[in-house]
């Protein structure tokens, strides 16, 4: 498991953006440790953004990263990926494939859920393969 320090002192609360950045850093580190190659981070077009585009064994994987800190009283990070987000990621992935000419590869949509403690340290990393 990869540990990350928060960008603020221990008395400060992490902002939503800081949690997102920390979660994406942890996810990229985890993927690289498990033989994934990071192709793009935060790839954007008119239809939306893809957190991470990676490849492994001739497959292109579009990864949505969700991170939370503290308790799971509002649900787990992976539970926050709703049908609207799935459609948006699929549409954005389609644009990515057309723009890069990578239309002959198999593709997959994964979710990486990162739980952080209040200080921004990694508690768990859950990689859901073929999440949608």
- The pLDDT assigned to 12 comes to 59
Other CB atoms within a 10 A radius of the CB of residue 117 amount to: 12
Separation between Cα atoms, residue 38 and residue 47, nearest integer Å: 21
Q: Output the pTM of the full model.
A: 0.84
Domain ranges of the chain: 16-128
Q: Which of 28, 125, 115 is nearest to 69 (CA)?
A: 115
Residue 14: strand, helix, or coil: coil
Alpha carbons 56 and 62: distance in angstroms, whole number: 11
CATH topology of domain 16-128: Trna Endonuclease; Chain: A, domain 1 (3.40.1350)
- pLDDT tens, 36-50? 999 999 999 999 999
How confident is the prediction along the chain (132 residues), in pLDDT tens digits per residue? 444 444 444 445 778 888 889 999 999 999 999 999 999 999 999 999 999 999 999 999 999 999 888 666 667 778 788 999 999 999 999 999 999 998 889 999 999 999 988 888 888 999 999 999
Distance CA(123)–CA(91), nearest Å, equals 32
- The reported pLDDT for the residue numbered 77 is 75
Q: Please, are residues 27 and 72 in contact by the beta-carbon 8 Å criterion?
A: no
All residues at 6 or more sequence positions from 50 whose CB lies less than 8 Å from its CB, including other chains = 40, 42, 43, 62, 63, 64, 89, 92, 93, 96
């Amino acid at each position: 498991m990869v540990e990350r320090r928060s960008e603020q002192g221990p008395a400060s609360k992490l902002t939503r953006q800081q949690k997102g950045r920390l979660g994406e850093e942890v996810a990229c580190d985890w993927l690289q440790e498990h033989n994934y190659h990071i192709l793009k981070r935060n790839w954007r077009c008119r239809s939306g953004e893809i957190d991470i585009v990676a490849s492994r064994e001739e497959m292109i994987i579009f990864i949505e990263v969700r991170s939370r800190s503290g308790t799971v009283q509002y649900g787990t990070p992976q539970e926050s990926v709703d049908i609207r987000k799935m459609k948006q990621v699929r549409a954005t992935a389609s644009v990515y494939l057309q723009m890069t000419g990578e239309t002959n590869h198999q593709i997959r949509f994964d979710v990486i859920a990162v739980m952080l403690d209040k200080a921004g340290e990694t508690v768990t990393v859950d990689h859901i393969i073929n999440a949608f």
